[in-house]
Amino acid sequence: MKTIHQLRIFLLLSLFLLIGNLSYGQQTNHPLDPLTWQEYWTVLEVLQETDHLNADTRFSHINLVQPNKTLVWQWNKTKEIPRVAFAIVHQKKKTFKAEVNLVNRKLETWNELKGIQPTWLEQEFGSMVDKVKQHPEFIAAMKKRGYKDLTFIDGVFLPPGYFGTEEQKGKRIAHSQWMDVRNARNTWSRGIEGLTVVVNLDTEEILRVVDEGVVPIPTVNIDFDTASIPTVREMPGPIFINQPQGAGFTMDGYTVAWQKWKFHVRPDHRVGMVLSTVTYKDGSDERQVLYEGHLSEIFVPYMDPSFGWYHRNFIDAGEYTAGGLTKPLLKGLDAPDYAHYMNGLAIHDNGRPKPIPNMIAIFERETGDPSWRHYSNAMEPESRVKRDLVVRCAAVLGNYDYIFDWIFQQDGSIKVLVGATGIAEAKASIQKDATSPSENGKPGDAYGRFVDPHVIAVNHDHYFSFRLDMDVDGETNSLQLDRLRTEILPEELPRRSVWVSQPMIAKTESEAKLKINLDKPTLWRVVSNTRKNHVGYPTSYQLMPGKTGNTLLSEDDYPRKRVGFINYHLWATPYQSNERFAAGDFPTLSLPGKGLPEWTSKNRSIENKDIVLWYTIGMHHMVRAEDWPVMPVLWHSFELRPFDFFNGNPALDIPKD
Strand, coil or helix: 16: helix
The C-alpha atoms of residue 283 and residue 290 are separated, in whole angstroms, by 19
The C-alpha atoms of residue 424 and residue 626 are separated, in whole angstroms, by 11
| Residue 569 neighbours by CB under 8 Å, 6+ apart | 514, 515, 516, 545, 548, 615, 616, 618
Nearest to 277 by CA among 257, 287, 292: 292
Quote the DSSP letter at residue 17. Answer: H
Count CA atoms within 13 Å of residue 92 on its CB side: 3
Strand order across the 426-428 sheet: 426-428, 455-458, 448-452
Whether 457 and 220 have beta carbons less than 8 Å apart is answered as no
The C-alpha atoms of residue 351 and residue 112 are separated, in whole angstroms, by 18
| Residue 122 neighbours by CB under 8 Å, 6+ apart | 322, 323, 348, 349
The one-letter code for the residue type at 620 is H
The one-letter code for the residue type at 114 is K
Q: Which of 211, 304, 316, 405 is catalytic?
A: 316
Torsion of CA 484, 490, 495, 497, to 10 degrees: 20
Whether 613 and 571 have beta carbons less than 8 Å apart is answered as yes
Q: Where are the alpha helices (DSSP H) in 305-350?
A: 307-310, 316-319
45 vs 48, 79, 352, 519, CA distance in Å? 5, 27, 11, 59
Q: Which of 400, 402, 558, 568 is catalytic?
A: 400
The C-alpha atoms of residue 292 and residue 264 are separated, in whole angstroms, by 9
The C-alpha atoms of residue 74 and residue 76 are separated, in whole angstroms, by 6
To the query of whether residue 400 is one of the catalytic residues in this protein, the response is yes
> What are the DSSP calls for 556-608, one per residue?
T-HHHHH-GGGG-SEEEEE--TT---TT-S--TTPPTT-SHHHHHTT--B-TT
Strand, coil or helix: 73: helix
Whether 200 and 207 have beta carbons less than 8 Å apart is answered as yes
374 vs 367, 643, 644, CA distance in Å? 19, 21, 22
Whether 570 and 513 have beta carbons less than 8 Å apart is answered as yes
Count CA atoms within 13 Å of residue 80 on its CB side: 6
Nearest to 66 by CA among 425, 581, 598, 593: 581
Q: Where are the alpha helices (DSSP H) in 222-371?
A: 307-310, 316-319
SS (H, E, C) 236-256: CCCCCCCCCCCCCEEEECCEE
Q: Would you name the residues annotated as active-site residues?
A: 316, 400
